Structure 1
Amino acid sequence: MSEATSGYAAEADRLAVQYESVTFEEVHAPVLHLLPPAGRALDIGAGTGRDAAALADRGFEVTAVEPTAELRAHGARLHAAKAITWIDDGLPDLPVLAAARERFDLVMLTAVLMHLDAGERARAMARLAAHLAPGGRLVMTLRHGPVPPGRRMFDVSGEETLALAGRHGLAGLFSATRADMFGRPGVSWTVLVLTPRA
C-alpha cells in the first residue's frame, strides 16, 4: 500500500457508511450538466463504488479503480448487482490500467489528487490525460482544510491543478468551490472539469 492511501484500510468500515450516506447526484450536482450522456467511464479512487454504481445506472460501461482492498470489498458487496469492473490499481502511475492502454469518455477523480505530492501529481496528470478519449471529461474534486489523523494530504489549489492540467494538454471547462457536505470545520472543496484540447 502506498503512502497516498494510508489510513483508509483501517477506517474502511466507517468510511463505507459515510461514502454511501450521500448520493452521486448530491456530490456532483454542480457538474452533472457537463457529464457525457453515456460511454466508457473510469472512476479512480472509487472507494465503495457509490459513483461507479450511479454511472452504471446512467448507462456507462464502468471501470472502478481502488487500491485499498477493504474498500474494494465493500464496493463489491454493496453494488454486486451493478455492471462494474473492479481493478486493484492506483495513481500516480496506474500500472495495470496503463498496460491496457484504454481511453474513457468520462474519468472521475473524487477526493484523490490531494493525496499525492507534487512529483506524483505531475505523473498522475500525464496518466489521466493519456486515458481521456478525444472530447472526454475529467471530473475532479480537491479537499482543502485539516488533514484527518493517519492520512497523507497536501494543500493543492484549483489554480495549481488547472496549470498542471494545461501542461498535459487539458483545458478547464468548469471550476468552483463548495462547502463540505458533512459540515466538517474548516473543510471545503474545489470542483474541476477538464477536457483534452482540440
Structure 2
Amino acid sequence: MHGTFETMESVDISTKIIDCYTENSQKFTGQYESLTPAEVFGSAISLFPLMPSFTLDIGAGSGRDAAWMARQGHIVTAVEPSDGMRELAIRTHADQPITWVADRLPELKSVQRPEGGFDFILISAVWMHLVPEDRGIAFRRLAELVSANGTILISLRHGTSDPARPMLPIDTATEIENAKLAGFRLAKTVNTEEDDKLGRGDVHWELLQLSLKAEQAP
C-alpha cells in the first residue's frame, strides 16, 4: 500500500467520485486526451488485442482508449457512470462506432454480454475508486462477462489520494487473490515505477493481465 487515502462508505464514495468527474469533465477530458494510449500504457500496449474483438472499456472517461480501439476495428462498448464525462466523450469521438453505457462497477447491471463474451476488457484508472468489499463482487461480474479465451487488463494506482476523488489503497497480492477466487488466473504483471504520465511524481501504476482458469471458462 502506498500513500494516504480517504475512506468512506461505498455509496458515498461512488456519489462523490461521479459528481467530481461530472463537474470537472472539461478539465479531465483535456488531461486524458492530451495523451495517447501508447504513452499511457507503454510496453503494456502489446497486451491489447490485435484482431478485431468484442471489447469492453469500463470507466472509459474521455473515450480516448475506446476510440483508439474502435479505430483498430474492435467492436467497443464503453461504460462511464459520469454523465458529464460520457456526454462529452460521445461528442469528442462521434466519428467512432462506440456503444456507450451509463453504468458502473461492481455490478454493471446494464452491460449486455455479447454471444461468447467480451474478448478484451479494459479497466484503466478505476480500481482505486472501489471500496475493498466491492472488488470481489466486481471480479465475479467480470468473470461472467469475459469470453473463455478473453483477457482483462486492470491498472492499479499506487500513490497519494486526490481529496476531490476519493481513492482507496490497493494491495496487489490481495487483488490477485480476489481475482483467483472469482475464477481468474494471473497471466502477466507489468510494474512500472516510472513517473506518472500526467506529472504526478508520487503516483505510479501497475497493470494486471487476467484470464479465466480453464475449469472456470463457460
- Establish whether TM, by shorter chain, passes 0.5: yes
Deviation at 1:158, TM superposition (A): 2.1
1:172–1:194 CA contact under 8 A, matched in 2? yes
Task: Give, in whole Å, the separation in 1 of the partners of 2:101 and 2:127.
Answer: 18
Tell me if the contact between 2:183 and 2:212 (Cα under 8 Å) persists in the aligned partners.
yes
User: Aligned pair 1:182/2:195, yes or no?
Assistant: no
Maintained 8 Å contact 1:12/1:70? yes
Residue 74 of structure 1 aligns with which residue? Answer: 88
Alpha-carbon displacement from aligned partner over 1:44-68 (angstroms, at most 9, x marks no partner): 0000100000100111000000000
**Gapped runs of 5+ residues in structure 2?**
1-10
Instruction: Describe how 1:77-88 pairs up with structure 2 within 5 A.
Output: 77-88=91-102
Match of 2:28 in 1: 15
Q: Larger Cα Rg: Structure 1 or Structure 2?
A: 2
Q: 1:30 to 1:13 in 2, by over 3 A?
A: same
Residues 1:143 and 2:157 are matched in the alignment:
yes
Q: Give the TM-score normalised by the residue count of structure 2.
A: 0.85
Q: 2-side partners of 1:158 and 1:58: how far apart?
A: 31
Aligned equivalents of 1:80, 1:171: Cα separation in 2? 36
Tell me which residue corresponds to 2:131: 117
Does 2:42 correspond to 1:42? no
Q: Give the Cα separation in 1 of the matches to 2:156 and 2:186.
A: 15
Cα distance in 2 between the residues matched to 1:67 and 1:147? 20
**Per the alignment, do residues 2 and 49 of structure 1 end up closer, same or farther by CA in structure 2, a change over 3 Å counting?**
farther
Q: Paired residue for 2:3?
A: none
Cα 1:95–1:2 shift into 2, 3 Å: farther
1:191 aligns with 2:201: no
Per chain length, whose mean CA-contact separation is higher, i.e. which structure has more relative contact order (CA < 8 Å, sep 6+)?
Answer: 2
SS of the aligned residue for 1:9 comes to helix
The 8 Å contact of residues 31 and 193 in structure 1, kept in 2 or not, is answered as no
Compute the TM-score of the two structures, normalised by the length of structure 1: 0.94
Aligned residues: 196
Say if 2:120 and 2:146, in contact at 8 Å, map to a contact too: yes
Q: Deviations over 1:48-104 (max 9, x none)?
A: 10000010011100000000000001111110000100000110111111xx34320
Matched-pair identity in % = 36
- In terms of mean alpha carbon deviation, does 185-194 or 5-14 score higher? 5-14
Greater mean deviation of Cα atoms: 30-39 or 146-155: 30-39
Q: Please tell me whether the aligned partners of residues 44 and 190 of structure 2 are also in contact (alpha carbons under 8 angstroms).
A: no
Following superposition, the deviation at residue 123 of structure 1 comes to: 0.7
